[in-house]
Structure 1
Amino acid sequence: MWTLTLDTATPYLSLGLFRGDEGIGRIVRLGRRHEEALFSILDGLLGEVGARKEEIGAVVLGKGPGSYTGLRIALAAGLGIAMAHGAQVYGVSSLLAACWPFLEEGGPPLTALFTARNGLYYGATYARREGRPLVVQPPRKLKHSELPQEGLLLDTPPDPRALYELLPFAQKGVEPAYL
């Protein structure tokens, strides 16, 4: 069975299909046009790995925080695919998926930030300990004056492979993180 990963919390569409060590992911900057491209890109990925939608056994969704409409697109599409094909659904923080590829085991914490409206940021700070994500500061809204002075990742898109790698630590089901 394949695992579909999907995040639309940011201006980027992060979409992937993974099974064991094989798989493929795409990150495409779409602004506010996720719904226009999502299913055609998914069909392309299915073709590249030689799979059918019926072979999707798990769906890992980025649960935000992020754009209200953006979050709804991933949730609606992902839940619809899961319901149609009997797949399990899991949720992962979009901020964690953005910084996971950059976290070094035992290294310093990193703060992932997504630009929000009105000069605010959505941010969370994570570290990697014993191969697991450690939440140093949970997702929150920050003003520019509240930003840490080091270890920042600004507007890095959630990584489709990171969503897959974080599946063992994901919550079953998905509850969007609206801040």
Structure 2
Amino acid sequence: MANLLIVDASSALCSVSLISAAGVQDLTERQPRRHAQRLLPMIDEVLQVAGVDKTALDGLAFARGPGSFTGIRIAVSVIQGIALGLNLPVYGFSTLQLLAQQALAETTVGQVVTVLDAYMGEVFWAVYERNDEQDGLLCRLVGAEQVSDPQRCVDGLQYMLQAHQIDPYNCVLAGNGVALLTPTDRLPALSVVDGIEPLSHYAVDQVANAWQRGEFAGFEDFPPVYLRDSVAWKKLDEQPSLLKR
């Protein structure tokens, strides 16, 4: 079995998973401002616990966004440094899909709307449906991943409900951006799965399948996904958020 390292730093959480012959080893910490200090030590700890030397790694995977601009940049830099140093292929996956896979793993519904706080008065959001083709992906994207203000997100979801693209009895909302979707009475039929945050563990099956299918490649094939074309990024503590902390 291949030794595959997976990292996610796209939110306040920082998570690392390792797939090896010994199984799956996970480590997660809440580090909203210390991703740069903690990600490499966390990788070393996971490797040590699993008894795998970093020179024995076969491939690297990472959440490439959308999400925290700083966190994504840190994850990309760390994975790129290891990949270049050890001449390893990489694989990038969507943070919104990661959230959807967790929600679907914990429920029996067929659809999930994942919503992340994008700060600056906006949310990242997408609709995913359960994938029954047994190809290693628990879900597939419906339409496109988007960034918008919360009201436009609500309007878009309301349209999809009216167009029967979303089944109100078979769909849930998940992610820390759900609290920003006001007025909530515009989406009365959709229940909410609380406590869903990006965790690298829920990318394990997707990453293992991608390895088997030969989908690992160079960094140019998996650029970071910010969804915003151009923005004056601010420090985290200067960014307005509609969520109370």
TM-score by length of 1: 0.89
- Aligned pair 1:138/2:131, yes or no? no
Partners of 2:99 and 2:175 within 8 A in 1: no
1:159 corresponds to which residue?
Answer: 199
1:110 corresponds to which residue?
Answer: 112
Inter-partner Cα distance in structure 2 for 1:27 and 1:61? 14
1:91 corresponds to which residue?
Answer: 92
CA drift at 1:21: 7.1
Inter-partner Cα distance in structure 1 for 2:197 and 2:20? 22
**What's the C-alpha RMSD, in Å, of the aligned pairs?**
2.2
User: Given the superposition, is the C-alpha separation of residues 97 and 171 from structure 1 closer, same or farther in structure 2, using an over 3 Å criterion?
Assistant: farther
Inter-partner Cα distance in structure 2 for 1:48 and 1:21? 10
User: Given the superposition, is the C-alpha separation of residues 165 and 20 from structure 1 closer, same or farther in structure 2, using an over 3 Å criterion?
Assistant: farther
Partners of 2:59 and 2:216 within 8 A in 1: no
1:44 partner letter: E
**More relative contact order, 1 or 2 (CA 8 Å, 6+ apart):** 1
2:174 partner letter: L
Partners of 1:5 and 1:59 within 8 A in 2: yes
TM-score by length of 2: 0.66
Post-superposition Cα deviations, 1:144-165, rounded to whole Å, max 9, x if no partner, equal: 2223476111233222122221
Post-superposition Cα deviations, 1:112-136, rounded to whole Å, max 9, x if no partner, equal: 1111112211111111222332111
Inter-partner Cα distance in structure 2 for 1:153 and 1:71? 20
- Aligned pair 1:22/2:43, yes or no? no
Provide the identity percentage: 24
- Aligned pair 1:178/2:178, yes or no? no
SS of residue in 2 equivalent to 1:69: helix
Partners of 2:109 and 2:172 within 8 A in 1: no
User: Given the superposition, is the C-alpha separation of residues 126 and 7 from structure 1 closer, same or farther in structure 2, using an over 3 Å criterion?
Assistant: same
Q: Looking at secondary structure, tell me which structure has more strand per residue.
A: 1
Inter-partner Cα distance in structure 1 for 2:98 and 2:124? 14
Inter-partner Cα distance in structure 1 for 2:109 and 2:31? 32
2:240 corresponds to which residue?
Answer: none
* Matched residues, number: 179
1:124 corresponds to which residue?
Answer: 126
Partners of 2:89 and 2:216 within 8 A in 1: no
SS of residue in 1 equivalent to 2:29: strand
Partners of 1:61 and 1:174 within 8 A in 2: no
CA drift at 1:137: 3.3
